[in-house]
Amino acid sequence: MSWLERLVVTGGTRLTGSVKINGAKNAILPLLASSLLSEKRIVLEGVPSLNDVYTMKEALESLGIKIKWEGDTMEVDPSDLQSLELSPSLARRMRASNLVMGPLLGRCRKFKVSYPGGCTIGSRPMDLHLKGFSALGAEITDDHGCITAEAPVLQGADIHLDFPSVGATENIMMAAVLAQGTTMIKNAAREPEIIELQNFLNKLGARIRGAGTDTIRIDGVKKLNQEISHGVISDRIETGTFMTAAAITGGEVWINNVIPEHVKAITAKLREAGVSIKEEDDRIFLNSPSRWRAVDIRTMPYPGFPTDMQPQMMIFLALAQGTSIITETIFENRYLHVGELRRMGAQVRVEGKTAVITGVPQLTGTTVEATDLRAGAALVVGGLAAENTTVIEGIEHLDRGYERLENRLSMLGAKIQRQQK
């Protein structure tokens, strides 16, 4: 149990060698949820072994779905769906539990789900999801945090999102696949995971186009009845995390099984700081200097700089020459890690949505606690560069999104191990 464990990092080792990136957490979760729309066997390959994936598997099994998981291959049999209600305990464990709403509404015309849990980095309201379902014809009731939806008929509609929310875009796409007529999602999220979901659903028999742009068109079909196998795209945030880990240690690392296009915003900022990066078809070579320049970052929806890389870049910039400014535009609570970074010697001042980072020559190891998934990654990255030993508590957050991160960093030369408390 990862909540009984901690990571111990002894800094100062330059990372060298090569590492392979795993399948994307933020892709596999909606793919698994969307399997509820089908009644035929689905094989998923490149599935990462993450706590959130285990939780989604448990959630689907609680609804009657049969799942076999061996290595990185998962076989899903959604033919015997038995329940339309997700238990509150499962919903609370993971934000992405809300992704079962769209497929249940699409296939069965109803669902009952509690408000989801996950990282505490902002309100992440459900309004956009529920407005989309309402536009398709669902009647929504919210009874003390339990959301029920019912629709005798789902009818395609024009839906304009107030914000290009990834989760809302995915949920509406999944609900609309089996609706009558055509649904248009305007101001849709453009993330690679949206394209991945479109490709997966189209393989199953859906008719969707436009993913990757701000307008997605879904022409409803009667059923999804294709048996398919599908390889999951690689994780761009894991890629970025390894890039910052290599960069902060002045390392030379090949990062394999990547899609360079998906990390262009990260690559651009690291290059601006003075890091040398070479891109090939499915891999990146990174060679970092011993000191680097300060840069300014503004988090934005894709293809802008990802909010999920903001904490890792903050600790990297804590060792830059000069002053960097980060503006967080996506989540209002995404500076909870700042206090822990300061304990390591980082000079960070937060004013509203803005963090001002004044570069220091050295970080110092101490005991710190991960407040959320990406904050945990930032503390690991900082520990790799810090003097002495860093002890990271709260690594259950880290295990939600990184598969045995310490083992893969060790293969690059890092001195890092998992210990029982």
In tens digits, the chain (421 residues) has pLDDT values of 677 899 999 999 999 999 999 999 999 999 999 999 999 999 999 999 999 999 999 999 999 999 999 999 999 999 999 999 998 888 888 888 999 999 999 999 999 998 876 665 555 578 899 999 999 999 999 887 789 999 999 999 999 999 999 999 999 999 999 999 999 999 999 999 999 999 999 999 999 999 999 999 999 999 999 999 999 999 999 999 999 999 999 999 999 999 999 999 999 999 999 999 999 999 999 999 999 999 999 999 999 999 999 999 999 999 999 999 999 999 888 999 999 999 999 999 999 999 999 999 999 999 999 999 999 999 999 999 999 999 999 999 999 999 999 999 999 999 999 999 8
Q: Kindly list the catalytic residues.
A: 119
Q: Which CATH superfamily is domain 25-231 in?
A: Enolpyruvate transferase domain (3.65.10.10)
pLDDT tens-digit readout, 148-194:
999 999 999 999 999 999 999 999 999 999 999 999 999 999 999 99
Contact indicator for 339, 366 with CB cutoff of 8 Å: no
| CATH code 3.65.10.10 region(s) in the chain | 2-21+234-420, 25-231
Query: Which CATH architecture is the domain 2-21+234-420 placed in?
Result: Alpha-beta prism (3.65)
Q: What is the pLDDT of the chain when averaged over all its residues?
A: 96
Burial of 336 (0-12, 13-18, 19+ CB in 10 A): middle
User: Cα angle at 283 between 280 and 286, to 5 degrees?
Assistant: 90
